[in-house]
Amino acid sequence: MSMIPQLMSGRRLEHDALSTGQFVSLGFNYVQMFSDFLEDNESEFSLEEAGTTDATIALGTADPDGNVLLSHNGTNEAQSVAITGGGTAFLNPHKEPIFETRLKITLSTDATFDAASNYLVFVGLVTKGTAVSTSATLISASADHVGFQLGSDTGTLNIYCESDDGTNDNDLKDSGIDFVSGTYVTLKIDMTDLSNVRFFIDGAEANNGNTFDMSNIAATDYLEPYILFSRTSNGAATERAHVMSVDYLRLTWKRS
Protein backbone atom coordinates (compact mmCIF):
# COMPACT_ATOMS: atom_id res chain seq x y z
CA MET A 1 0.00 0.00 0.00
CA SER A 2 1.32 3.44 -0.90
CA MET A 3 2.55 5.61 1.97
CA ILE A 4 2.32 8.80 -0.09
CA PRO A 5 -1.04 10.00 1.39
CA GLN A 6 0.30 9.56 4.93
CA LEU A 7 3.60 11.24 4.13
CA MET A 8 1.86 14.18 2.48
CA SER A 9 -0.61 14.62 5.37
CA GLY A 10 -3.49 14.97 2.93
CA ARG A 11 -1.89 17.74 0.82
CA ARG A 12 -2.15 17.70 -2.95
CA LEU A 13 0.82 15.90 -4.51
CA GLU A 14 1.96 17.04 -7.95
CA HIS A 15 4.11 15.01 -10.32
CA ASP A 16 6.27 17.40 -12.30
CA ALA A 17 6.71 15.16 -15.32
CA LEU A 18 7.46 18.22 -17.41
CA SER A 19 10.92 18.92 -16.08
CA THR A 20 12.67 16.91 -13.38
CA GLY A 21 10.38 13.88 -13.27
CA GLN A 22 10.31 14.16 -9.48
CA PHE A 23 7.38 14.24 -7.07
CA VAL A 24 6.97 17.70 -5.60
CA SER A 25 4.48 19.42 -3.32
CA LEU A 26 3.64 22.89 -4.62
CA GLY A 27 3.48 24.29 -1.10
CA PHE A 28 3.70 28.05 -0.56
CA ASN A 29 6.47 28.76 -3.07
CA TYR A 30 4.15 28.57 -6.07
CA VAL A 31 1.07 30.45 -7.19
CA GLN A 32 -1.65 28.23 -8.62
CA MET A 33 -4.58 29.38 -10.74
CA PHE A 34 -7.00 26.50 -11.19
CA SER A 35 -10.59 25.77 -12.13
CA ASP A 36 -12.48 22.50 -12.51
CA PHE A 37 -15.39 24.53 -13.93
CA LEU A 38 -17.95 23.03 -11.58
CA GLU A 39 -21.46 24.36 -12.07
CA ASP A 40 -22.26 27.45 -9.97
CA ASN A 41 -18.64 27.63 -8.82
CA GLU A 42 -16.76 30.90 -9.33
CA SER A 43 -13.68 30.82 -11.54
CA GLU A 44 -10.73 33.16 -11.97
CA PHE A 45 -11.10 32.73 -15.72
CA SER A 46 -13.34 34.71 -18.06
CA LEU A 47 -15.82 33.14 -20.52
CA GLU A 48 -16.14 35.33 -23.62
CA GLU A 49 -17.88 35.53 -27.00
CA ALA A 50 -17.08 37.75 -29.97
CA GLY A 51 -18.62 38.86 -33.25
CA THR A 52 -22.25 38.74 -34.39
CA THR A 53 -22.42 35.19 -33.23
CA ASP A 54 -24.86 32.45 -32.29
CA ALA A 55 -22.02 30.53 -30.66
CA THR A 56 -22.29 29.87 -26.92
CA ILE A 57 -19.96 29.31 -23.99
CA ALA A 58 -21.26 28.07 -20.67
CA LEU A 59 -20.56 25.76 -17.77
CA GLY A 60 -21.73 22.26 -18.62
CA THR A 61 -24.56 20.81 -16.54
CA ALA A 62 -24.41 17.14 -17.53
CA ASP A 63 -20.93 16.35 -16.20
CA PRO A 64 -20.57 16.13 -12.38
CA ASP A 65 -16.80 16.61 -12.78
CA GLY A 66 -17.39 20.05 -14.28
CA ASN A 67 -16.54 21.46 -17.71
CA VAL A 68 -17.01 24.42 -20.01
CA LEU A 69 -18.68 23.92 -23.38
CA LEU A 70 -17.55 26.18 -26.24
CA SER A 71 -20.15 25.55 -28.93
CA HIS A 72 -20.53 26.65 -32.54
CA ASN A 73 -23.70 26.10 -34.54
CA GLY A 74 -24.63 25.72 -38.20
CA THR A 75 -25.28 29.40 -38.87
CA ASN A 76 -23.15 30.63 -41.75
CA GLU A 77 -21.19 33.28 -39.86
CA ALA A 78 -17.88 33.81 -38.11
CA GLN A 79 -18.10 32.64 -34.49
CA SER A 80 -15.60 32.96 -31.65
CA VAL A 81 -15.76 31.81 -28.02
CA ALA A 82 -12.91 31.68 -25.53
CA ILE A 83 -11.73 31.10 -21.97
CA THR A 84 -9.27 33.84 -21.04
CA GLY A 85 -7.72 35.63 -18.12
CA GLY A 86 -9.94 38.60 -18.91
CA GLY A 87 -6.93 40.90 -18.81
CA THR A 88 -6.82 40.60 -15.02
CA ALA A 89 -5.57 37.04 -14.44
CA PHE A 90 -2.02 37.02 -15.78
CA LEU A 91 1.52 35.89 -15.03
CA ASN A 92 5.18 36.86 -15.34
CA PRO A 93 6.82 34.61 -17.98
CA HIS A 94 10.10 34.65 -16.05
CA LYS A 95 8.54 32.86 -13.06
CA GLU A 96 8.81 29.40 -14.65
CA PRO A 97 5.11 29.05 -15.50
CA ILE A 98 3.48 25.75 -16.40
CA PHE A 99 0.17 25.67 -18.27
CA GLU A 100 -2.02 22.58 -18.28
CA THR A 101 -5.51 21.79 -19.51
CA ARG A 102 -7.63 18.79 -20.46
CA LEU A 103 -10.09 19.20 -23.30
CA LYS A 104 -11.75 17.54 -26.24
CA ILE A 105 -13.19 18.65 -29.56
CA THR A 106 -16.26 16.85 -30.84
CA LEU A 107 -16.70 17.36 -34.57
CA SER A 108 -20.19 17.36 -36.04
CA THR A 109 -20.81 15.53 -39.35
CA ASP A 110 -17.35 16.19 -40.83
CA ALA A 111 -14.15 14.29 -40.04
CA THR A 112 -12.08 17.51 -39.85
CA PHE A 113 -12.59 21.25 -39.74
CA ASP A 114 -13.57 22.57 -43.18
CA ALA A 115 -10.57 24.55 -44.44
CA ALA A 116 -12.95 27.12 -45.96
CA SER A 117 -14.22 27.97 -42.46
CA ASN A 118 -10.68 29.02 -41.50
CA TYR A 119 -10.79 27.67 -37.96
CA LEU A 120 -8.43 29.06 -35.32
CA VAL A 121 -8.22 26.78 -32.28
CA PHE A 122 -5.54 27.99 -29.88
CA VAL A 123 -4.70 26.66 -26.41
CA GLY A 124 -2.02 28.40 -24.38
CA LEU A 125 -0.87 31.86 -23.30
CA VAL A 126 -1.01 35.24 -25.07
CA THR A 127 -0.17 38.85 -24.30
CA LYS A 128 -2.25 40.18 -21.40
CA GLY A 129 -5.31 42.08 -22.60
CA THR A 130 -5.65 40.39 -26.00
CA ALA A 131 -9.30 40.95 -26.93
CA VAL A 132 -11.33 38.03 -28.24
CA SER A 133 -12.41 38.43 -31.86
CA THR A 134 -13.09 36.44 -35.02
CA SER A 135 -9.91 37.69 -36.69
CA ALA A 136 -7.84 35.01 -38.40
CA THR A 137 -4.70 36.81 -37.18
CA LEU A 138 -5.79 37.18 -33.55
CA ILE A 139 -3.00 34.99 -32.18
CA SER A 140 -0.27 35.82 -34.68
CA ALA A 141 -0.88 39.55 -34.10
CA SER A 142 -0.38 39.13 -30.35
CA ALA A 143 2.99 40.53 -29.29
CA ASP A 144 3.88 37.32 -27.43
CA HIS A 145 2.23 33.92 -27.39
CA VAL A 146 2.97 30.25 -26.78
CA GLY A 147 0.59 27.37 -27.25
CA PHE A 148 -1.00 24.60 -29.25
CA GLN A 149 -3.18 24.86 -32.33
CA LEU A 150 -5.57 21.99 -32.99
CA GLY A 151 -6.45 21.38 -36.62
CA SER A 152 -7.19 25.04 -37.24
CA ASP A 153 -7.46 26.09 -40.90
CA THR A 154 -5.46 23.18 -42.29
CA GLY A 155 -8.41 20.80 -42.65
CA THR A 156 -6.52 18.17 -40.61
CA LEU A 157 -6.52 16.75 -37.09
CA ASN A 158 -2.89 17.81 -36.50
CA ILE A 159 -1.84 19.29 -33.17
CA TYR A 160 0.70 22.05 -33.73
CA CYS A 161 3.02 23.81 -31.28
CA GLU A 162 4.08 27.43 -31.64
CA SER A 163 5.77 30.30 -29.84
CA ASP A 164 6.63 33.95 -30.50
CA ASP A 165 8.52 36.31 -28.18
CA GLY A 166 8.64 39.20 -30.64
CA THR A 167 12.05 38.09 -31.95
CA ASN A 168 11.96 34.31 -32.22
CA ASP A 169 8.88 33.19 -34.15
CA ASN A 170 8.22 29.46 -34.37
CA ASP A 171 4.90 29.13 -36.12
CA LEU A 172 2.77 25.97 -36.46
CA LYS A 173 5.30 23.20 -35.89
CA ASP A 174 3.63 19.81 -36.28
CA SER A 175 3.84 17.77 -33.07
CA GLY A 176 3.36 14.55 -35.02
CA ILE A 177 0.32 13.82 -32.83
CA ASP A 178 -3.31 14.19 -33.92
CA PHE A 179 -6.37 14.87 -31.80
CA VAL A 180 -9.28 12.44 -31.95
CA SER A 181 -12.81 13.80 -32.17
CA GLY A 182 -14.72 13.18 -28.94
CA THR A 183 -11.63 12.09 -26.99
CA TYR A 184 -10.03 14.13 -24.20
CA VAL A 185 -6.40 15.17 -24.54
CA THR A 186 -4.17 16.72 -21.85
CA LEU A 187 -1.98 19.58 -23.07
CA LYS A 188 0.93 21.03 -21.08
CA ILE A 189 3.43 23.80 -21.69
CA ASP A 190 6.57 24.00 -19.53
CA MET A 191 8.25 27.43 -19.58
CA THR A 192 10.83 26.60 -16.89
CA ASP A 193 13.61 27.23 -19.44
CA LEU A 194 12.57 30.09 -21.74
CA SER A 195 15.26 29.19 -24.25
CA ASN A 196 13.71 25.74 -24.65
CA VAL A 197 9.97 25.77 -23.96
CA ARG A 198 8.63 22.22 -23.84
CA PHE A 199 5.25 20.95 -25.01
CA PHE A 200 3.54 17.76 -23.83
CA ILE A 201 0.51 15.88 -25.12
CA ASP A 202 -0.92 13.23 -22.80
CA GLY A 203 2.42 13.15 -20.98
CA ALA A 204 4.56 12.65 -24.10
CA GLU A 205 6.96 15.39 -25.20
CA ALA A 206 5.66 16.97 -28.41
CA ASN A 207 8.44 19.35 -29.52
CA ASN A 208 9.16 16.85 -32.30
CA GLY A 209 12.74 18.02 -32.79
CA ASN A 210 11.89 21.73 -32.69
CA THR A 211 13.33 24.31 -30.27
CA PHE A 212 10.88 26.92 -29.03
CA ASP A 213 13.00 29.83 -27.83
CA MET A 214 11.19 32.58 -25.88
CA SER A 215 14.28 34.00 -24.17
CA ASN A 216 13.64 37.49 -25.54
CA ILE A 217 10.37 37.93 -23.69
CA ALA A 218 10.65 40.48 -20.85
CA ALA A 219 9.49 39.78 -17.31
CA THR A 220 6.94 42.58 -17.71
CA ASP A 221 5.55 41.14 -20.94
CA TYR A 222 2.72 39.57 -18.96
CA LEU A 223 0.81 36.62 -20.39
CA GLU A 224 -2.73 35.42 -19.75
CA PRO A 225 -4.36 32.02 -20.36
CA TYR A 226 -6.23 31.76 -23.63
CA ILE A 227 -8.32 28.90 -24.99
CA LEU A 228 -9.84 30.08 -28.27
CA PHE A 229 -12.40 28.21 -30.38
CA SER A 230 -12.92 30.42 -33.41
CA ARG A 231 -14.39 30.06 -36.88
CA THR A 232 -12.99 33.12 -38.60
CA SER A 233 -14.90 32.81 -41.89
CA ASN A 234 -18.22 31.50 -43.16
CA GLY A 235 -16.65 30.25 -46.37
CA ALA A 236 -18.02 26.73 -46.10
CA ALA A 237 -21.29 25.96 -47.87
CA THR A 238 -22.67 24.44 -44.65
CA GLU A 239 -21.15 25.24 -41.28
CA ARG A 240 -21.07 22.64 -38.53
CA ALA A 241 -22.00 22.60 -34.84
CA HIS A 242 -18.57 21.61 -33.53
CA VAL A 243 -18.06 21.70 -29.75
CA MET A 244 -15.01 22.05 -27.50
CA SER A 245 -15.30 20.78 -23.92
CA VAL A 246 -12.72 22.00 -21.39
CA ASP A 247 -12.49 19.81 -18.29
CA TYR A 248 -10.04 21.90 -16.24
CA LEU A 249 -7.42 24.61 -16.58
CA ARG A 250 -4.40 25.03 -14.33
CA LEU A 251 -1.44 27.40 -14.26
CA THR A 252 1.41 27.40 -11.76
CA TRP A 253 4.41 29.68 -11.39
CA LYS A 254 6.99 30.65 -8.79
CA ARG A 255 5.91 33.18 -6.21
CA SER A 256 7.80 36.49 -6.16
How many whole angstroms from its chain centre is CA 3?
34
Please check whether residue 7 lies inside any domain of the structure: no
Domain that holds residue 144: 29-254
Total-model pTM? 0.87
Domains: count for the chain: 1
User: In CATH, what number is assigned to the domain containing residue 60?
Assistant: 2.60.120.200
pLDDT for position 212: 98
Please check whether residue 14 lies inside any domain of the structure: no
pLDDT for position 197: 98
pLDDT for position 27: 66
DSSP-derived secondary structure for the chain: ---HHHHHTT---EE-TTTT--EE--TTSEEEEEE---TT---SSEEEEESS---EEEE-SS-TT--EEEE--SSSS-EEEEEE-TTTS-B-TTS--EEEEEEEEE--SSSS--GGG-EEEEEEEEETTPPP---TTTTTTSSSEEEEEESGGGSS-EEEEEEE-SS-EEEEEEEEEE--TT--EEEEEE-SSTTSBEEEETTEE--TT--B--TT--TTS-EEEEEEEEE----SSS----EEEEEEEEEEEE--
Please check whether residue 15 lies inside any domain of the structure: no
Please check whether residue 220 lies inside any domain of the structure: yes
Please check whether residue 6 lies inside any domain of the structure: no
Per-residue pLDDT of the chain (256 residues; tens, 9 = 90+): 344 334 333 333 444 443 333 344 566 799 999 998 886 555 678 888 886 667 888 887 667 788 999 999 888 888 999 999 998 889 999 999 999 999 999 999 888 888 888 899 999 999 999 999 999 999 999 999 999 999 977 678 999 999 999 999 999 999 999 999 999 999 999 999 999 999 999 999 999 999 999 999 999 999 999 999 998 887 667 788 999 999 999 999 999 8
Please check whether residue 5 lies inside any domain of the structure: no
Please check whether residue 136 lies inside any domain of the structure: yes
Please check whether residue 23 lies inside any domain of the structure: no
